[in-house]
Amino acid sequence: HSNRVMWFQDLFPPNVCPINAKANTFYGIMFDAGSTGTRIHIYTFVQKSPENLPELEGEIFESVKPGLSAYADQPEKGAETVKRLLDMAIDAVPPHLWKKTPVVLKATAGLRLLSEEKAQALLLEVKEVFEESPFLVPENSVSIMDGSYEGILAWITVNFLTGQLSGQNQHTVGTLDLGGASTQITFLPRFEETLKESPGDFLTSFEMFNSTYKLYTHSYLGFGLKAARLATLGALNMEAADGQMFRSSCLPKQLEAEWHFGGVKYRYGGNKEGETGFKPCYLEVLKVVKGKLHQPDEIRGSSFYAFSYYYDRAVDTNLIDYEQGGVLEVRDFERKAKEVCDNMERYNSASPFLCMDLTYITALLKEGFGFRDNTLLQSRPRSFIFPCAADTHKGRVDAIHKTFLIHKNFKGKYQQEKKNKKKQPLQG
């Protein structure tokens, strides 16, 4: 693939990727507190001249598991995981810039699922860690991110970085993010009908680069991959699972195991005597999604950019390449689900949940959102869009995509590059 010149290589020339401090360098620290893990992004920006906007020069990334919500009952321990990540920033940012470097944490679905009380306790402890650090702590620096904002940021990132938000012919692509606890769908409606038929809170307008965008976006809480496992097992929203055994036809017959999620321990297993395989599993999973999601007509035919667990499971089952990603159809997930579920014993080296996960993805796409079998999904590794991303982060499309700050910062550079470079959108 080395002969494929990507337009963004000029945005992020490899030789400027490493972080090296210069006089006009400044930093920003962003935490993505997801339901399955906490991640730190330490960004370096460089202002080359006073009239130019600063440019992103590099990123340091690190992550820990589990996510903050696993510490629902030990908020101090949760905050400690944040502190350990923040210590990396102490090493990465030169001391004279500490006081000018903002630190922000945005929590997503894991904390949304907790009680207000437990979520606030965690956020408070994190805030304390920030305040004890030498960094700049802006107001409201530690908060739960709104679900529609989460969807919009992903959409902007993908479409901006693929060059769709500048110039005339804007062919934006919708985004599908499948997290651990929630899932987002975001697209730019082309038909008046969609705007009329959608619930009011599914539509959000915002302005960027002198255009107004009215997006369809929604975050479904409890429909992330891990939450869906619990829902399928009938164990979602159980404060204490009391050692109860949850069984499913989506799991290997003989399996009996334990699983921790959101600070709760669950026992789960296969249908020892009963049925297993794709058919009964699909029926089980169907109960979780059927009639629960809004189905905008116009998405049936359009293609989407799918990442997070869509990407992970597609890679796990060799539907796409880890480095390159690829294009697949909704029915590819179904084909794989059948293959895995109907040969469960053969797949026992992988996660015992592989059958359930693939079946859920199939049901979510088809019965949940109403996609057609042949709807195209692009699933790309994060490194495809962010070639400078740290190696540890390869294969991940960033789900929180670092706030408007960065998009604003890219603007000047991007327009400059476009003049003498043909952009190459993501394609098969």
Ligand X SMILES: Nc1ccn([C@@H]2O[C@H](COP(=O)(O)OP(=O)(O)O)[C@@H](O)[C@H]2O)c(=O)n1
Give which of 388, 308, 395 is closest to 32, Cα–Cα.
308
Q: Does 396 engage in binding with ligand X (CB under 6 A)?
A: yes
Q: Which residues of this protein are in contact with Ca ion, per CB under 5 A?
A: 34, 108, 179, 399
The answer to the question of residue 224 lying near ligand X (CB under 6 A) is yes
Residue 398: which of ligand X, Ca ion, none does it interact with, CB under 5 to 8 A by kind?
A: ligand X
Active-site residue identified among 55, 150, 284, 367:
150
Is 333 within 8 Å of 361 (Cβ atoms)?
yes
Residue 137 and residue 131 in contact, taking contact as beta carbons nearer than 8 Å: yes
For residue 110, the partner it binds in ligand X, Ca ion, none, with Cβ less than 5 to 8 A by kind, is ligand X
- Cβ–Cβ < 8 Å for 122, 71: yes
Tell how many helices (H) and how many strands (E) occur in the chain: 12, 15
CA distances from 82 to 27, 123, 343, 390 (A): 18, 11, 41, 19
150 is known as an active-site residue: yes
Q: Give me the residue label for tokens 């960027």.
A: 208
By C-beta, is 43 or 189 nearer to ligand X?
43
In the list 182, 232, 271, 383, the residue contacting ligand X (rule: CB under 6 A) is 182
Does residue 182 have a known ligand-binding role? yes
Q: Judged by CB under 6 A, does residue 309 bind ligand X?
A: yes
CA distance 61 to 89: 10
Question: Is residue 175 within the footprint of ligand X (CB under 6 A)?
Answer: no
CA 299 vs CA 174, 214, 303: distances in Å: 9, 15, 8
Using rule CB under 6 A, residue 81 touches ligand X: no
**Sheet of 211-221, strand order:** 203-208, 211-221, 182-187, 174-178, 304-308, 376-379, 326-329
**Residue nearer to ligand X on the CB measure, 26 or 307:** 307
The listed partner (ligand X, Ca ion, none) that binds 224, CB under 5 to 8 Å by sort, is ligand X
Is 39 a residue that touches ligand X (CB under 6 A)? Answer: yes
Q: Which is nearer to ligand X, 12 or 271 (CB)?
A: 12
Q: How far is the CB of 245 from ligand X (least distance, A)?
A: 26
Q: Is 181 annotated for ligand binding?
A: yes
Q: Is 184 annotated as a binding residue?
A: yes
Based on CB atoms, which residue is closest to ligand X, 249 or 378?
A: 378
Q: Which of 351, 106, 116 is nearest to 225 (CA)?
A: 351
Residues touching ligand X: how many (CB under 6 A)? 24
Q: Which range, of 12-20, 29-37, 249-257, 407-415, touches ligand X by CB under 6 A?
A: 29-37
Q: Going by DSSP bridges, is the β-strand pair 103-107/142-144 parallel, antiparallel, or unpaired?
A: parallel
In the DSSP assignment, the letter for residue 321 is B
157 binds ligand X (CB under 6 A): no
Sign of the CA dihedral with 222 first, then 234, 350, and 249 last = negative
CA-CA-CA-CA torsion sign (407, 409, 410, 415): positive
Q: Binding of ligand X at residue 78 (CB under 6 A)?
A: no
Is 308 one of the binding residues for ligand X (CB under 6 A)?
Answer: yes
Work out whether 109 is an interface residue with ligand X (CB under 6 A). yes
Whole-number minimum distance, CB 109 to Ca ion, in Å? 7
Q: How far is the CB of 271 from ligand X (least distance, A)?
A: 27
Nearer to Ca ion, 81 or 248 (CB): 81
d(CA 204, CA 357): 30
- 4-23 residues in contact with ligand X (CB under 6 A) are none
User: Any known ligand binding at 301?
Assistant: no
Q: Is 219 annotated as a binding residue?
A: no
Q: Contacting ligand X (CB under 6 A), which of 7, 16, 37, 53?
A: 37
| Backbone φ and ψ of 377, nearest 5° | -120, 125
CA distance 409 to 95: 24
Q: Which residues bind ligand X (CB under 6 A)?
A: 32, 34-37, 39, 67, 108-110, 179-182, 224, 307-309, 312, 382, 396-399
Positions annotated as catalytic residues are: 150
Instruction: Specify binding-site residues for ATP.
Output: 180-184
Report the binding-site residues.
Answer: 180-184
